[in-house]
């Protein structure tokens, strides 16, 4: 026998005695691996599940065929890179231990049925509500606007007649409630005509900053509301207010906007069109949400919606405003912050957290120790691999940057800070 073969066999026998897990045989799911800026994102669509590692971690996963032992994987990598097999074995075994702990790889074949998505839980029915983006024009330039309204207004926005046809088609499909959003819907010259058209036989909720409810518009609003609500209440408003003071509100919405919005809310209340008020929670106003609730209560408002910022549009470039999901949960659960009844009224008020905040119960832990597969196990499984990113995760660009900065000195399986989690598989693959 070749002396080198004999020596290798003796070495392997010794390694097997020293590291019993070297004889393990792991099974990996069918993977889709996306690579970007040194980050390899391994997605298992059948689970769904995913982990992030570097190119070498992805190579380890590719070598798992249900027949190859951990030692054989380490041997192959060590030969290719001319590394000591002992050190490579420790790294590979540690990596696979972590992947196994996250149930990404298994010691037995995965015989579970294919992932069927959310079809069993979410069955299609009749369309009942429709958001209509009536304009991108806006009188404000909010720093967190997810559609960057006002920066660009398409020269050919939908005309009055086109919107009416859209409304008719939607009603035929079963829509009984419309939402007008933008931009600022009251920037459209035909807005009152469109309100009349919808409210003949459907409900309409208008999302507005309430700054145009002055002068002649007050009388026009009174007239259209009298028709819309003649038999049933069909016209509703939601007004954006991002803090209890001008300083906090105008930090994101611009100068001289707070007072006008407050006056707009008062006008709607006086017209018996009491709006819901929405607040987009951010790093500056997070400790003032209860005060905002008390302010809108004093104006006669009955519903205060707490919204989760979406990292899109201008918010993408102002990500310093974003806060961790755990902070939202803490605020919404703050003892004594949300009385069931507000002073001087017998009406029970409601504080509603949006779906973005309600399910975000903890900060995802994404990048971890050097010899451990990193994962967003609490947040990645149900929405990531099936292509739906319904709730904000964490900015992948930061994660990629965190890995890239360590590439010169880190061990083969990179170490990155747990403070650099990402928000979705798709974003990790497309981050720049």
Burial class (CB in 10 A: 0-12, 13-18, 19+), 332: middle
Q: What pLDDT is attached to residue 316? A: 84
Residues 156 and 107 in one domain: no
Q: What pLDDT is attached to residue 120? A: 65
In sign, the C-alpha dihedral spanning 295, 298, 300, 304 is positive
| Residue 96 is assigned to a structural domain of this protein | yes
Q: Map residue 417 onto helix, strand or coil.
A: coil
Q: What pLDDT is attached to residue 163? A: 96
DSSP state of 151: T
Q: What are the start-end ranges of the H helices in 153-244?
A: 160-172, 191-198, 216-228
Joined tokens for residue 266: 């008062």
Burial class (CB in 10 A: 0-12, 13-18, 19+), 377: middle
Mark the ranges of the chain whose per-residue pLDDT is less than 50: 1-7, 10-11, 335-432
**Is residue 177 a contact partner of residue 203, using CB atoms and an 8 Å limit?**
yes
| Category of 357 on φ-ψ map: left (φ > 0), alpha (ψ -120 to 50) or beta | alpha
Q: Which of 323, 347, 376 is the last residue of a domain?
A: 323
**Distance between CA atoms of 263 and 282, rounded to whole angstroms?**
24
**Distance between CA atoms of 46 and 421, rounded to whole angstroms?**
23
Helix or strand (DSSP H, E) at 332: helix 325-332
Share in percent of the chain as helix, strand, coil (round to 5): 40, 15, 45
Count of other CB atoms within 10 angstroms of residue 169 = 11
Residues 278 and 425 in one domain: no
| Residue 6 is assigned to a structural domain of this protein | no
Residues 46 and 152 in one domain: no
Burial class (CB in 10 A: 0-12, 13-18, 19+), 120: exposed
Residues 25 and 167 in one domain: no
Q: Map residue 231 onto helix, strand or coil.
A: coil
**Distance between CA atoms of 353 and 349, rounded to whole angstroms?**
13
Token pair 């299609």: residue? 124
Residues 30 and 92 in one domain: yes
Residues 149 and 288 in one domain: yes
| Residue 215 is assigned to a structural domain of this protein | yes
Q: What pLDDT is attached to residue 19? A: 61
| Residue 76 is assigned to a structural domain of this protein | yes
| Residue 121 is assigned to a structural domain of this protein | no
Q: What pLDDT is attached to residue 211? A: 97
Q: What pLDDT is attached to residue 385? A: 21
**Is residue 51 a contact partner of residue 102, using CB atoms and an 8 Å limit?**
yes
Residues 151 and 236 in one domain: yes
| Residue 351 is assigned to a structural domain of this protein | no
Q: 303 - beta bridge partners?
A: 350
Q: What pLDDT is attached to residue 133? A: 94
Q: 350 - beta bridge partners?
A: 303
User: Number of structural domains, the chain?
Assistant: 2
Q: Which of 286, 304, 323 is the last residue of a domain?
A: 323
Residues 31 and 102 in one domain: yes
Q: What pLDDT is attached to residue 108? A: 86
Count of other CB atoms within 10 angstroms of residue 5 = 9
| Residue 334 is assigned to a structural domain of this protein | no
DSSP state of 22: G
Q: What pLDDT is attached to residue 121? A: 67
Full domain range(s) for residue 407? 11-115+368-430
**Distance between CA atoms of 206 and 264, rounded to whole angstroms?**
13
Residues 248 and 289 in one domain: yes
Sequence-ordered strand ranges (E) for 12-139: 32-36, 39-44, 49-53, 129-133
pTM (predicted TM-score): 0.56
Residues 176 and 236 in one domain: yes
Burial class (CB in 10 A: 0-12, 13-18, 19+), 316: middle
**Is residue 369 a contact partner of residue 27, using CB atoms and an 8 Å limit?**
no
Q: Nearest 5°: phi and psi at 186?
A: -80, 5
Residues 35 and 151 in one domain: no
Using one digit for the tens of pLDDT, what is the confidence trace for 121-143?
666 677 899 999 999 999 999 99
Q: Taking the C-alpha atoms of 123, 129, 132 and 138 in order, what is their torsion angle to the nearest 10 degrees?
A: -110
What CATH number corresponds to the domain at position 187? 3.20.20.70
Q: Which of 288, 323, 358 is the last residue of a domain?
A: 323
Residues 149 and 33 in one domain: no
| Residue 122 is assigned to a structural domain of this protein | no
Terminal C-alpha separation, the chain: 54
């Amino acid at each position: 026998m070749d002396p080198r073969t004999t020596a290798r066999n003796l070495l392997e026998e010794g390694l097997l005695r020293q590291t019993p897990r070297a004889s393990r045989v792991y099974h990996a799911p069918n993977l889709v691996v996306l690579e970007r800026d040194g980050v390899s994102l391994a997605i298992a669509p059948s689970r769904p599940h995913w982990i992030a590692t570097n190119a070498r971690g992805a190579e380890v996963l590719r070598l798992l065929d249900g027949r190859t032992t951990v030692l054989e994987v380490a041997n192959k990598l060590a030969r290719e890179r001319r590394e000591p097999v002992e050190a490579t074995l420790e790294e590979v075994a540690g990596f696979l231990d972590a992947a196994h702990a996250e149930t990404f790889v298994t010691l037995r074949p995965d015989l579970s049925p294919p992932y069927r998505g959310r079809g069993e839980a979410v069955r299609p029915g009749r369309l009942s509500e429709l958001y209509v983006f009536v304009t991108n024009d806006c009188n404000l330039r909010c720093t967190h606007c997810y559609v960057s309204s006002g920066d660009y207004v398409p020269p050919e926005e939908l005309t009055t007649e086109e919107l009416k046809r859209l409304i008719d088609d939607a009603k035929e499909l079963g829509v009984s409630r419309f939402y007008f959003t933008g931009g600022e819907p009251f920037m459209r010259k035909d807005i009152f005509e469109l309100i009349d058209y919808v409210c003949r036989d459907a409900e309409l909720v208008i999302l507005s900053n309430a700054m145009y409810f002055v002068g002649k518009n007050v009388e026009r609003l009174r007239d259209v509301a009298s028709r819309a609500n003649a038999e049933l209440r069909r016209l509703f408003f939601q007004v954006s207010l991002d803090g209890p003071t001008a300083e906090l509100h105008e930090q994101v919405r611009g100068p001289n906007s707070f007072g006008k919005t407050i006056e707009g809310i008062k006008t709607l209340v006086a017209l018996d069109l009491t709006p819901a008020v929405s607040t987009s929670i951010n790093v500056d106003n997070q400790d003032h949400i209860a005060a905002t609730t008390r302010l809108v209560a004093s104006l006669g408002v009955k519903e205060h919606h707490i919204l989760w910022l979406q990292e899109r549009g201008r918010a993408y470039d102002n990500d310093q405003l974003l806060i961790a999901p755990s902070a939202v949960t803490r605020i919404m659960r703050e003892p004594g912050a949300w009385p069931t009844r507000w002073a001087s009224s017998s009406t029970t008020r409601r504080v509603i957290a949006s779906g973005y905040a309600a399910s975000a119960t903890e900060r995802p832990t994404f990048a971890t120790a050097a010899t451990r597969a990193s994962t967003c196990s609490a947040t990645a499984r149900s929405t990531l691999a099936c292509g739906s990113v319904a709730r904000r995760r964490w900015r992948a660009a930061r994660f990629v940057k965190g890995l890239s900065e360590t590439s010169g000195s880190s061990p083969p399986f990179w170490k990155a800070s747990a403070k650099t989690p990402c928000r979705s598989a798709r974003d990790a693959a497309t981050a720049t």
